[in-house]
Structure 1
Amino acid sequence: MTETLRIPSSTGRPPLRADFTAGKGRDLAVVLPGLRYGCDRPLLRGTAALFERAGCDMARLAFDYAEDEAFMTAPDAEQFARIAADGRDIGAHLSAMRAYERVWLIGKSLGTLSMGAALSAGIGASERTRAVWLTPSLLGTPLLSWMRNWPGVGVAVLGTEDPSNRPELLEALGRQPGLTLRMVAGADHGFDHAEGRDAARRAIGEAIDTVEQWRKQQL
């Protein structure tokens, strides 16, 4: 059964919403979607399913940034500040629910900024937290600096056609302790593929398989 969580905002905005599904209660997986890439989209849906099948409690965030005109027209610095504040609120609220043995953070694009801000702020013990960075938003954002502030273990998956596929950014990721980086040929930021839907499905499958292999290594 799925219930709705209301996560209070420290900025005075309406509460953030998450759909929560109970599993075995030992581990928690938090799914943080992109700006227009919701938890029901193929890459996030398939990745989240790995953790749901493993018995994790699941919290899937429902972001509404794309419908907020004030947010969409705000300067980048204001957008990043709000995403960061929301990410810290999410992390603090969910980590206080119970003493989970392990917390898996799964972010896509904008969601990687949310989790990056929370981790950089020290929310969640690094020895109990694992990060799944799907198409991390590295270009023109504070994300890389936030990732450097966190000493934990994670996996990052990027398509070769993603705007963040730049030598200097990949080199920086490669120097990040505890981070496994995997590139998927032909995939863009939304994990579409120039060769069409079948190629996109294969790329998504490759990304999900990468996360599953990495997840099993953490057990």
Structure 2
Amino acid sequence: MKFLKKDVKSNGKTIQYTLITQKSDQLVIVLPRAGYTAQAPWLYYSTSLFVEKDYDVLHVNYSYTQNEFEALGATGFSQDVCQVINQVVSNYKEIIFCAKSLGTLALSHIIDEYQPSYSIWLTPLLQRDDVYQKLIESDYRGLIVIGDEDPCYIEDRFNDIKDNSSLRLTLIKGANHGLELKDQHPSHSIDVLKDYLNQLDHILC
């Protein structure tokens, strides 16, 4: 297994990425949240499981100031992500996405281009019409995980998405945007992460 750290220029900015490769023909693309890197618990342990299942893993390590992101908008942001993905994607027969928060914004714009076999949507930005509409209409199989104490959780929209038979939905009672349980012992948040990893393990079998 090798860790290849590289970067690419896009929209005048350098976007760093890490490819964890073990010569697989299956690739998982991890799109993190702003301020929640691929080294944070939910993405770190997701990556560990993907590697255990013999997938290569691509971490797209974008970083923006608020002004930079506002200038880019969703289209420019998605272009940056595609610039990274296109450096490696031709080597793979199957693609899976694992996106958290801001990463789900990019995923909603690029999913049709890459046609993944599966997508994991962690704390999707349901307040955004583009993300919501893609989850309503998408035919791609996937898993959504969100907490009911997350400001991105909108009950009516979440219930609408339940009608999409291509998606599995997991609503975590008391979980915030970090998928941590408020006002509870940290071990309970770890149990929630364990439950998710068991779900993911089953999906990847």
* Equivalent of residue 191 in structure 2, options 190, 196, 202: 202
* Structure 1 residue ranges without an equivalent (≥5): none
Equivalent in the alignment of 2:36: 37
Alignment of 1:187-198 (within 5 A): 187-194=175-182, 195-198=184-187
What is the CA distance between 1:22 and its match in structure 2? Answer: 0.8
Quick one: which amino acid aligns to residue 195 of structure 2?
E
Contact 2:81-2:106 within 8 A present in 1 as well: yes
1:188: how far off?
0.9
Partners of 1:113 and 1:140 in 2: CA distance: 8
Matching residue of 1:79: 73
From 59, 67, 70, the equivalent of 1:70 is 67
User: Partners in 1 of 2:39 and 2:66 — Cα distance?
Assistant: 23
In structure 2, the partner of 1:123 is: 113
What amino acid does structure 2 have at the position aligned with 1:187? Answer: A
For residues 66 and 123 of structure 2, what CA distance do their matches in structure 1 show? 25
TM-score (norm 1): 0.83
Contact persistence 1:28–1:103 (CA under 8 A): yes
CA RMSD of aligned residues (A): 2.1
State the alpha-carbon separation in 2 of the partners of residues 61 and 20 from structure 1. 9
Cα offset for 1:154? 0.8
TM-score by length of 2: 0.88
Paired with 1:149 and 1:15, the residues of 2 have a C-alpha distance of 33
| Structure 1 residue 88: Cα displacement | 3.5
* CA–CA separation in structure 1 for the residues paired with 2:51 and 2:162: 29
Q: Establish whether residue 47 from structure 1 lines up as the match of residue 46 from structure 2.
A: yes
Check if 1:17 corresponds to 2:16.
Answer: yes
The secondary structure found in structure 1 opposite 2:98 is: strand
CA distance in 1, matches of 2:139, 2:84: 20
Q: Residue 183 of structure 1 corresponds to which residue in structure 2?
A: 171
Offset at 1:170? Answer: 1.0
- Using the TM superposition, give the Cα deviation of residue 172 of structure 1 relative to its aligned residue in structure 2, in angstroms: 2.3
> Using a 3 Å threshold, how does the CA distance of structure 1 residues 20 and 169 change in structure 2: closer, same or farther?
same
Q: Decide whether the 8 Å contact of 1:84 with 1:114 is kept in 2.
A: yes
* Alpha-carbon distance change, 69 to 179 in structure 1, aligned in 2, over 3 angstroms: closer
What one-letter code is carried by the residue in structure 2 that aligns with 1:197?
Answer: P
**CA 1:90–1:144 in 2, change beyond 3 Å: closer, same or farther?**
farther
Distance 2:130 2:143 in 1: 18
Query: Structure 2: which 5+ residue stretches go unaligned?
Result: none
